[in-house]
Amino acid sequence: MNEIYVKSLPLKDVIANLAESFDTTYFNRCNEYRINIPSKYGEGFIRGINFLSGFGLIEYNCSFNEILKIHFSVNNIHPLKFIYCSKGSVKHRFEEDENLHTIDQFQNVIVASTAKNGHILLFPKNSPIHLNSLEISRKEFKSKIDCDLNHVDSNLRKLFKDLNARDLFFYHGNYSLIMSDCIDSIKGTKLDGFTRKLFLEGKSNEILSIQIADYEDDKKTEPKRQILRKSELAQIQNAVQILKGELENPLTIKDLASRVGTNPTKLQEGFRYVFGLTVNNYLNKIRLEYAKEQIMIGDLNISEIARNIGIANKSYFSRLFKSTYHLNPKEFSLQIAKNAKKEIS
């Protein structure tokens, strides 16, 4: 296992210490500092950028040949860390606490050590990791948020106001779909120079605002939680399979949500995120796709097809079909037959 010690602030010093430990150099472009991991230690990169008001972002996109233990230590007060894992799994612990916290893919933590104590991140061996960490110096950040703290959850308000780091703080959650999109946009941006810095600062602020909403939603008990998490996308795929497999007797949204282990609000959010459609609109989409396919095969009549997709009203089925394919089922069937004759002749 490799073990290294780095400063916590400013981020330039974090990257400089890492570069020294890896026996390599770091690069500075528009106040964004980056090191490329030497091949004898692994692959990938680590980069960090400082914004105004004691706010910064570190991105880890790397894999190490041996287990790596990074100690973030300070002489006074360590910054708040908002850590998001979008690939792999890492472990975290406080210097003053031996308990390890695992941060798996699509999970996040908010951590604050007490004064004169820091954090330890443990990276696994031969495992690709993508991690983003917002770093906030509370004393410098205070002027940016002071006027708005009364509208923030009481625990977070206390955390931001703990300027002298008297209290240990730990929160562990699963981040939302919106958060996932924001993190992916940071990873995928091709911007450079000044525009890149503006973009990263904007996205970092967006992450913080989303995090506050996610945290407040997490404090609610089910079924009152409304924000769908990235880790819950499997429930949406399960719902899709149920809809496709039970077209003849489709479930209500409430029953479908209950069956896959979520609530109607989060189910609807998931369908809008994945398909850009409500649950009912998606159901009608797959109904009509099935109906179109069966008309083209020609083994079933219109009434049988309508019954197989759970629509008892033949007139409603006809209107629904025409709204998508611009012909009613009978007209569509005649068109198929006409085209088939042309091909034969």
Q: Are residues 14 and 59 in contact, defined by beta-carbon separation less than 8 angstroms?
A: no
| pLDDT, tens only, 164-198 | 999 999 999 999 999 999 999 999 999 998 899 99
Say what the pLDDT of residue 345 is.
55
The answer as to whether 42 is a domain residue is: yes
Residue pLDDT, tens place only, 273-286: 999 999 999 999 99
Regarding whether 312 and 200 lie in a shared domain, the answer is: no
For 313, the token pair is 């009203």
Residue 152, classed as helix, strand or coil, is: coil
The rounded distance, in Å, linking the Cα atoms of 13 and 213 is 32
Question: Nearest Cα to 183, choosing from 153, 152, 208?
Answer: 208
Mean pLDDT of 328-344: 83
Token pair 């612990």 is found at: 93
**What's the number of domains the chain is made of?**
2
Domain match, 177 and 274 both: no
Question: Which among 163, 189, 218 is the end of a domain?
Answer: 218
Residues 64, 195: one domain? yes
Reported as a single tens digit per residue, the pLDDT across 39-94 is 999 999 999 999 988 899 999 999 999 999 999 987 678 889 999 999 999 999 99
254 and 115 co-located in one domain: no
pLDDT at 164: 92
**What are the tokens at 156?**
């977070």
Q: Which two three-digit tokens encode residue 298?
A: 């020609």
- Which pLDDT score is estimated for 317? 94
The percentage of residues in the chain with a pLDDT greater than 90, rounded to a whole number, is 79
CB 287 within 8 A of CB 247: yes
Q: Are 144 and 195 in a shared domain? A: yes
In a domain, 109, yes or no: yes
What contacts 24+ positions apart, CB below 8 Å, involve 254-259?
Answer: none
DSSP 229: B
**Least confident among 137-146, 183-192, 242-251, 322-331:** 137-146
Contact call for residues 85 and 102 (beta carbons, < 8 A): no
Q: Partners of 44 in the beta sheet?
A: 62
Tokens at residue 188, please? 């995928």
Name the residue type at position 258.
Answer: S
What mean pLDDT value characterizes the chain? 92
- Note whether 97 and 154 are same-domain residues: yes
Closest listed residue to residue 46, CA positions, set 25, 65, 67: 25
Q: What is the structure's pLDDT at 184?
A: 94
Please name which of 133, 91, 138 lies closest in space to residue 110, comparing C-alpha atoms.
133
Same domain, 34 and 124: yes
Residue 42, helix vs strand vs coil = strand
Mean pLDDT calculated for residue range 311-325: 93
CA–CA distance, 36 with 27 (Å, rounded to integer): 9
pLDDT at 336 over 80: yes
Shared domain check, 177 and 117:
yes
Q: 207 and 165 share a domain?
A: yes
Q: How far apart are CA 283 and CA 22, in angstroms?
A: 54
Of 160, 186, 218, the position where a domain reaches its end is 218
The beta strands (E) that lie in the chain are given as: 2-7, 27-29, 32-36, 42-50, 55-64, 68-73, 80-87, 90-94, 101-103, 107-112, 119-123, 129-136, 169-174
**313 lies in which domain range?**
230-344
pLDDT at 252 over 70: yes
> Is 170 in a helix, a strand, or coil?
strand
Residues 10 and 125 in one domain: yes
CA distance linking residue 255 with residue 127, whole number of Å: 40
Same domain, 208 and 92: yes
Does 80 map to a domain? yes
Among positive and negative, which fits the CA dihedral 262, 268, 273, 278? positive
CATH number of the domain to which 305 belongs:
1.10.10.60
CATH number of the domain to which 182 belongs: 2.60.120.10
Strands of the sheet containing 169-174, edge to edge, are 27-29, 32-36, 42-50, 55-64, 129-136, 80-87, 107-112, 169-174
pLDDT in the model for residue 134: 95
Cβ–Cβ under 8 Å, residues 6 and 17:
yes
Q: Which of 170, 192, 218 is the last residue before a domain boundary?
A: 218
* Structural domain contains residue 223: no
